[in-house]
Structure formats: C-alpha cells, structure tokens
C-alpha cells in the first residue's frame, strides 16, 4: 500500500494505491452510501484495473503536520481519544470494524477549525499487516509536551494498555473520564504532607489559645510547653548569645570612653599643632630635562605578515527575497525546518497577507539540500509556477520562485560573517 497526493485548483486529495485487501462488499457500500462524520470523505476509482481510494482532505492537516509545529498537549490528546471513541461507536452502528482504520499520523486528519479529527477507512485493512494503535502512541510519546502532566497521563495510560492487548472502548473512556469515587479516594490518599502538617499546626494553636493554664505572650516562658527539645535548646542558645553581645557592647563602650579621655588630656597638655604649610617651590617647574624621543629602528621588523581574511570566516545562508508589491519582508532561513505562515506563535517566517494560511508551508534541509513542503494550505503553494501537492517534498535550488498563495519570493544564497 502506498500513498500519493494530488492538488487541484479547489481540492486536495490523498490517494491510496495497492490496497488489495479482501473484504465484504457491504463494507464498502456502507462507507460510500452513508455520511459518516468521523471518516474522511472517500471515492473509489479504478485505474488500469486497480482500485484506488481517493480521500478528499481539502483544508485538513495530518496529525504529523500538526505535531511538526507544536508538541501534543492535553487538548490534542483528549480530542484524539474522544475521536477514537466516536469512530468506534459510529462504525459499530454500521457493522464495520475500526481495525480497518490505519492509525498512523499521516492518515489521521484534523479539520480546518481544529475541533474534529477524522480517520481514513480502508476496507479489509485489518487483513494485512495490521500494526494496531500501539505504534501511534509510541510516536506520540516522542512528540509530547512532557510538562503537561494530564497529556502525559493519558498518553502513557493508553500505551501501557497497548502493551497487554489492543485497547477497547471502555479503556479509552476510563483514561478520559475515570471513576469519580476512585478519583476522590486517590486525591485524599495523596494529600500533600505539608498541607496536613499545616492543618495539624492550626489545630494545636487553637488548643493552646483555649488552654486554661496557657502562658501569655509577654511571659518569658510563653510557648515553651509546645516546643520540641531541639527548639528549646536553640532558644536558650539565642538568649545566651544576646546576653554575651550586650556585655561585649558595654565593655567596648567603656574602652572607647577611656580612649577619648586620654586623647582630650593629651591635646590640652601639648597645645595646638602648627599648621603645615607648603614650600613655594612645591609646584615649581621640574629642573630635569625630558629625554629626547628616539624613533625605533626598523619598527616593522617583528610585526609579522599581514593576514588576509579567509573565506572560512564567511558562511553561506539561504534567503527568500520578496518580489511582490505588498508589505512582506525578506525571510532569512536561519533554522530548519523553517515554517512559513501568518500565525506568529507557530511559524518562523511571518507573512501578513490575508490569503496566506496560518501554517502555510515549511522548508526542510537534508544533506545540504532544501525541500519545500505544503501544509495543505487554502490557496496553495507554487514552485516555479506549478502548484505542489501537500505532504510532498519538492527539492529546491538557488533561483527558484516560490509563491505562497499570492506572495512571491525568490530563493537566493548569500555570504555572511
């Protein structure tokens, strides 16, 4: 089984070829004659005596494209699990098996608004080398936002089930929603130790305030009844240190007073000091003559040779030079993959034209060769005047013309330090 992509002026298609699986005739009729909302719309064409499945993926993005821009978070994982549950229940109503769905990132699509995930149904797919859903979650774990604890919990929860058997509908529902009573019990069992300690301390404080023989705050022994032996020892040490510092301060003050008294009596005995005056010649001119400056003989003898800038101090970068008459700017390809679109939070090269999609295309680099790939944009990506299909890598070279919807660029290389 192989996959190809076709882009027309209005539609994008994913074409599945060589899917020669055995299946019951009613299975294909059920999919073609009914509108299953969780499945990508499909047509069947026969070319050269072979069956081809054409899936209309206009305006959709594969799960692989979505995760190439941002890691999977809890919203993405939850939407995926809920969509798997929905497609399982929907297929059961039509006596179809969800094992005929390829659970791969390249064949799972998210719609334009991002609120629905749809799957591709291939009759008889489970009769081939069916990989199951485990491989999908293995790839998800590599593209997961591991700072999102809820996303990690759901993903690893399904993966652990996959290690034992293929998950069923109840497994997905348990991971998604769980058992309310069980969840409360776990939360109570995992109550934070610090929180429980604070509750205990507050309770002790209330008991101490209401105790009939409790000391007042002004009492020197206030609160000692409720201190540990270590705290009492520390308190005594601090009190002893305070007394010692007071005694040292008193001795220092007495010594300073004696010293000041000695200075005062000495001053009275000796009288006032004479004012020191500078000699008139203090700022006079120097008598010594300056040494004559002598030029160094052959100053450049040990200077070394002049070194020219080497070409190794420069490196080549790629740049998309804007050729249109709009307000776009040149794009410097300073990282790869380099994503182009108008969503500033997701892309590297930002375009302002309204005709450009949020995530329009990306440029990749492999072995010093650049490739252009369209992200199933609304108005398409053109290479040298030709509309390129989605998910298809097109090699680039210097001088190529790239058009993102209506905005035209030329790929150029330049040397920089």
Q: Which CATH number fits domain 2-182: 1.10.510, 2.40.50, 1.10.3470, 1.10.357?
A: 1.10.510
> Which pLDDT score, from 0 to 100, does residue 82 have?
98
Q: Specify the residue for token string 């004012």.
A: 275
Domain boundaries of the chain, sorted by first residue: 2-182, 312-416
Q: Which long-range contacts (CB under 8 A, 24 or more apart) does 107-112 make?
A: 107/3, 107/14, 107/62, 108/62, 108/63, 108/80, 108/136, 109/40, 109/57, 109/60, 109/61, 109/62, 109/63, 110/60, 110/61, 110/62, 110/63, 110/66, 111/59, 111/60, 112/59, 112/60
Confirm whether 2-182 and 312-416 share one CATH topology: no
Which residues, at least 6 apart from 37, have a Cβ–Cβ distance to it below 8 Å?
A: 90, 116, 118
Low-confidence ranges of the chain (pLDDT < 50): 180-201, 204-205, 208, 211-220, 222-223, 226, 267-269, 271-284, 286, 288, 290
What would you report as the CA-atom Rg of the chain, rounded to the nearest whole angstrom? 40
> Which pLDDT score, from 0 to 100, does residue 115 have?
92
> Which pLDDT score, from 0 to 100, does residue 397 have?
97
What would the 3-class secondary structure string for the chain be?
A: CEEEEEECCCCEEEEEECCCCCCCHHHHHHHHHCCCCCECCEEEEEECCEEEEEEECCCCEEHHHHHHHCCECHHHHHHHHHHHHHHHHHHHHCCCCHHHCCCCHHHEEECCCCCCEEECCCCCHHHCCCCCCHHHHHHHHHCECCCCHHHHHHHHHHHHHHCCCCCCHHHHHHHHHCCHHHHHHHHHHCCCHHHHHHHHHHHHHHHHHCCCCCCCCCCCCCCHHHCCHHHHHHHHHHHHHHHHHHHHHHHHHHHHHHHHHHHHHHHHHHCCCCCCCCCHHHHCCCCCCCCCCCCCCCCCCCCCCCCCCCHHHCEEEEEEEECCCCCCCCEEECCCCEEEECCCCCCCEECCCCCCCCCCEEEEEECCEEEEEECCCCCCEEECCEECCECCCEEECCCCEEEECCEEEEEEEEEEC
> Which pLDDT score, from 0 to 100, does residue 126 have?
87
Summarised one tens digit per residue, pLDDT across range 241-264 is 655 566 666 666 666 655 555 555
Summarised one tens digit per residue, pLDDT across range 263-293 is 555 544 454 444 444 444 444 454 545 455 5
> Which pLDDT score, from 0 to 100, does residue 313 have?
73
110 exposure class (CB count in 10 Å sphere: 0-12, 13-18, 19+): buried
Q: What is the CATH number of domain 312-416?
A: 2.60.200.20
């Amino acid at each position: 089984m192989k996959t190809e992509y076709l882009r027309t002026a209005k539609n994008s298609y994913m074409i599945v070829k060589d899917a020669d699986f055995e299946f019951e005739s009613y299975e294909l009729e059920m999919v073609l004659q009914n509108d299953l909302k969780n499945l990508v719309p499909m047509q069947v064409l026969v070319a050269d005596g072979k069956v081809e499945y054409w899936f209309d993926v206009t305006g959709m993005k594969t799960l692989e494209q979505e995760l190439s821009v941002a890691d999977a978070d809890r919203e993405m994982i939850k939407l995926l699990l809920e969509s798997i549950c929905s497609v399982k229940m929907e297929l059961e109503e039509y006596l179809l098996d969800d094992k005929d769905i390829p659970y791969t990132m390249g064949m799972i699509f998210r719609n334009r608004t991002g609120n629905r995930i749809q799957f591709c149904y291939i009759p008889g797919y489970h009769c081939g080398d069916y990989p199951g859903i485990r491989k999908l979650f293995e790839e998800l774990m590599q593209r997961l936002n591991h700072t999102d604890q809820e996303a990690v919990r759901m993903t690893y929860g399904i993966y652990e089930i996959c290690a034992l058997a293929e998950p069923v509908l109840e497994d997905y529902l348990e991971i998604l929603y769980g058992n309310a009573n069980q969840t409360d019990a776990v939360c109570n069992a995992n109550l934070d130790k610090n929180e429980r300690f604070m509750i205990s301390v507050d309770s002790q404080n209330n008991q101490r305030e209401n105790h009939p023989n409790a000391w007042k705050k002004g009492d020197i022994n206030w609160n000692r009844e409720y201190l540990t032996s270590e705290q009492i020892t520390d308190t005594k040490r601090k009190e002893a240190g305070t007394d010692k510092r007071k005694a040292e301060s008193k001795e220092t003050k007495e010594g300073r007073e004696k010293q000041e008294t000695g200075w005062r009596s000495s001053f009275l005995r000796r009288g006032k000091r004479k004012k020191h005056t500078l000699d008139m010649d203090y700022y006079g001119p120097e008598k010594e003559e300056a040494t004559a400056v002598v030029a160094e003989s052959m100053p450049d003898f040990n200077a070394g040779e002049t070194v020219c800038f080497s070409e190794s101090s420069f490196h080549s970068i790629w740049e998309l030079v804007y050729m249109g008459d709009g307000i776009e700017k040149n794009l410097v390809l300073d990282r790869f993959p380099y994503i182009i679109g108008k969503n500033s939070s997701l892309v590297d090269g930002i375009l302002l034209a309204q005709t450009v999609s949020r995530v329009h295309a990306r440029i990749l680099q492999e072995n010093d060769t650049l490739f252009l790939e369209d992200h199933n944009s609304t108005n398409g990506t053109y290479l040298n005047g030709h509309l390129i299909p989605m998910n298809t890598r097109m090699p680039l070279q210097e001088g190529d013309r790239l058009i993102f919807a209506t905005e035209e660029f030329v790929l150029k290389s330049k040397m920089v330090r």
